[in-house]
Amino acid sequence: MEIEEYARIAAAEDDHWWYRATRAVMADLLDPWLAPRPTPGRSERRILDAGCGPGGNGAGLATAGAVVGIDVSPDALAFVQARRPGTTPVAGTLERLPFADASFDVVAAITVLYCVDDDAGAVRELARVLRPGGAALMIEPAFAWLTRAHDKTVHSRRRYTRPGLADTARAAGLTVRRATYAYSFLVPPAGALALAERLRPHATADAGSDVERRTLDPAFARLARAERQWLRRRDLPVGSSVVVLATRP
């Protein structure tokens, strides 16, 4: 990903509706693993923000433990270093994590596997560094037919289905606890944009970054809050993102 896109994300991730909603969903799903430790003297919880980018998602977990953010991009890590004092930046790839086995209590990989060459290998690495009983949360773009110009901007290699990402987690030795879609209300507009871009590729070649589209932020934020209430109790059959929560036996 180019530094310009990291800069756009860094500027938006504290207040953009999608990032705020995603951090809220993360907090809901990971709550059993992020709750205060009941036993005095236990070591501090360790959390891995895998493919951390500018660091906003990891920063949202910093109150629950010591966050380590790993990314292959020096540009991304520079943003973490400058803006996220609660996160320790580490250079490295998800396919070969520079950590010992069972190093982390919680692992979060948020919109990163779709950019990795060997996503199955990356999930195996996430499982390797997760402690027994720990939780791994993955949120990735859904459905190849929703591919748009923004995917090229962020160097996307693939999109996922719920069964596909869940199977990848199971193949890595993880136990899937939840597998659902999210942002169901984005499917109609995202599908319309994808179709328009395919019908008029030259007109949309410079469509730019989704982060810069803010006109509908208030409406999307309200819909995301309502959907979050649903996700607390049950799964969704469709959405623009796939969410998989898994644990290491």
pLDDT of residue 205: 46
Strand partners, 164: none
- Three-class SS state of 70: strand
Could you tell me which residues come within 8 angstroms of residue 192 by beta carbon, excluding any fewer than 6 positions away?
A: none
pLDDT in tens, 82-131: 999 999 999 999 999 999 999 999 999 999 999 999 999 999 999 999 99
Which residue is it, tokens 């990402």?
165
Tell me, what's the pLDDT at 68? 98
Q: Where are the beta strands (DSSP E) in the chain?
A: 46-50, 66-71, 87-91, 104-110, 130-141, 175-182, 241-247
Contacts of 141 (CB under 8 A, 6+ apart): 111, 114, 151, 156, 159, 160, 240, 241, 242
pLDDT at 154: 74
Residues 6 or more apart from 10 whose CB is under 8 A from it? 54, 56, 79, 83
Q: What is the predicted pLDDT for the residue at 1?
A: 62
Angle at 180 between CA 66 and CA 140, to 5 degrees: 60
Cβ atoms of residues 207 and 148 within 8 Å: yes
Q: What is the DSSP string of 79-139?
A: HHHHH-TTEEEEE-BTTB-SS-TT-EEEEEEES-GGG-S-HHHHHHHHHHHEEEEEEEEEE
The answer to whether the CB of 241 falls within 8 A of the CB of 142 is yes
Q: Is residue 170 within a helix (H) or strand (E), and if so which, with residue range? A: helix 162-171
Domains contained in the chain, number: 1
Cβ contacts of 246 within 8 Å, gap of 6 or more: 135, 136, 137, 138, 169, 170, 174, 175, 176, 177
DSSP at 160: B
The ranges of the chain with pLDDT < 70 are 1-3, 37-43, 201-214
> What pTM did the predictor assign?
0.91
Contact by Cβ (8 Å): 70, 52? yes
Q: What is residue 56's predicted lDDT score, i.e. its pLDDT? A: 94
CATH number for position 187: 3.40.50.150
Chain-centre distance of CA 75, in angstroms?
18
**Cα separation of 97 and 71, whole Å?**
10
The tokens of 79 are what?
A: 């943003």
Coil vs helix vs strand at 176:
strand
Q: Domain limits at 11? A: 3-247
Task: Please name which of 94, 168, 164 lies closest in space to residue 129, comparing C-alpha atoms.
Answer: 94
